[in-house]
Structure 1
């Protein structure tokens, strides 16, 4: 006996019985993490190296570093040996005195280089600010009102002072702990690396928001919401800064990468606040 013909199955009848339109919503993107911070920094280097139009701006911090370090180094060489001989007095002759003189001069030269690097950011603030604007323009971010040269310099100085005022005392405390209890180096060494990465991440990663006039408390809160991304960004800066040929590019490439990362994090936060969306 033949069975009665069945009605054609509709497309809707083949869908699961409990399928709800909300289940078709696109899941929000995952929070940008460590690798996002590292990739943003690499994009910053790519942006500087691949855009000849920004090379004059990128050269500004390099020139500031070279000029500042050279002047400070010349001062150290002219001043330190004489002061060492004065301090040693009657003991200023002999091999040991010469060794002390060479070591003191070498330390002074190292300090001169570090000071040159530290001065490069505030003194080249206007050029770095323009690099940030170029990156944001490329990414389609909103255009912010122009600022004066003095505002750029003071803002850069403020951004530089905050991490050192907070981080340096902690680094000194960890160093003293190593002297008192050497086995603690197993814990203090990675802590110092992480702290240094966060200090560097704030130093440059804070720059895009600071040029908009965002308060320090809001900038700190923003970075605290994305510790993994900031750690990846800072760790990349520390590692690439150890490469001699890349050291002078760290400032311009760093602020370019920071601008990119800031826009990415702000867009991610905006997508979270808007909630899930239906496709199409």
Structure 2
């Protein structure tokens, strides 16, 4: 896969949107639709006066938090961050502008969102503009969570991820779930080039049943070149999936994996939580 490491830890997200816009990157758009439905369902066991806590893994600049908690779309964010006005601002000026931008669009039912990412600059930006209630620049693949992360994650009800499972092992999830005190849901959009089997097994050890949506997949982004497409087609085929009409048409696709306690699986069927096509 093409590396985009250079855009993930800038002082602000303008390079991120400039680079990924032409590739039609859209995973957070699909996450917005899915995560809001999941929040409504799993939040029914939380006291009405208590916002649901979401922990977003690989949160980068807080984009999933922006889409969950604000009346904006991913297309709105592409337009916002690639606009002539945004281009002319310093990072400090952009942060001030963004504070007002998001505050004016905040939903009354906003969740409490924690962000986890290795990228310290991205975490700092997301906190500065008010997208994350708390953010942690930590790598749980290589070290256990810090005491502040352990405390913050205790009341998590929904763990989300729209990118990054390719680079994660069960270690990250094991260390997070050891912090959580209440039953938790895990909603992940996983590239079809990647196996989720070992992570699902880790979640099962914590009493979570993983369901994979089979009715349809979700576009992630366009391939950068023919080499990347060939890799994706071969990887999907090797994993026992059919790339025809998906990866063969020029795009990475993801599948939704939703993990929950068994009683929640029965109470909230996966088909009811899937967005309309």
With the length of structure 1 as denominator, give the TM-score of the two structures.
0.23
Point out the structure with the larger strand share.
Answer: 2
Say which structure, 1 or 2, has more relative contact order (CA 8 Å, 6+ apart). Answer: 1
Point out the structure with the larger helix share.
Answer: 1
